[in-house]
Amino acid sequence: MRVGPALGLAVLGLFSSSGAAGGAVQSWHVSGNRLVDAQGRPMVLHGVNRSGTEYACMQGWGIFDGPAGDASIRAIATWHVNFVRVLINEDCWLGINGVAPGLGGSVYRDSIIRYVGLLHRHGMYAEISLVWGPLGATAPPTSRALRTRTIRRWRGPAWRRRSKMIPA
């Protein structure tokens, strides 16, 4: 079942971390109807989707569709992008429903966490967006069951401790 992008924003949010030098992203907040930086200046997001992470794992041949290292992120930076939407798959994230052990669960999560860390080091914000839910699911993307399972997994202490991308 394909889950709408609104769920990604509503449930998982737009994540950033303030970091050290080297172009790392800075903290931001909402002021009225605007996103503003730490100095109160309005932010304008110029972004792209990073496709592949929502389907490669389920198809059994990888996590990313194409390069996902430092060089590929430097290439994206040449487009003057400051925001990347990373699409994810719930089955891959949880390592369930037939996902290969070498591609799902902690392997998948660690790969996403590392990729987001690289984005941050290059001064790009990341939105982690759940766009694929369970195979064969008939419930709408706003169903309580889907939200409950996903939120519980995303709010887990291991994710928060390792990524520092989910507010406590």
Q: Return the structure tokens found at 37.
A: 């930086």
Q: Tell me which amino acid residue 145 is.
A: A
Residue whose pair of structure tokens reads 């569709």 in the numeric block: 65
pLDDT > 90? residue 148: no
Please report, for the chain, the start and end positions of each structural domain, with discontinuous segments joined by +. 14-127
Q: Give the residue from 71, 62, 26, 49 showing the smallest Cα distance to 128.
A: 49
pTM of the model: 0.72
Q: What is the pLDDT of residue 130?
A: 83
Q: What is the pLDDT of residue 26?
A: 75
Average pLDDT, the chain: 75
5-25 pLDDT, tens digit each: 333 333 333 444 433 334 667
Residues 72, 79, 165: CA angle, nearest 5 degrees = 65
Taking the domain 14-127, which CATH number applies? 3.20.20.80
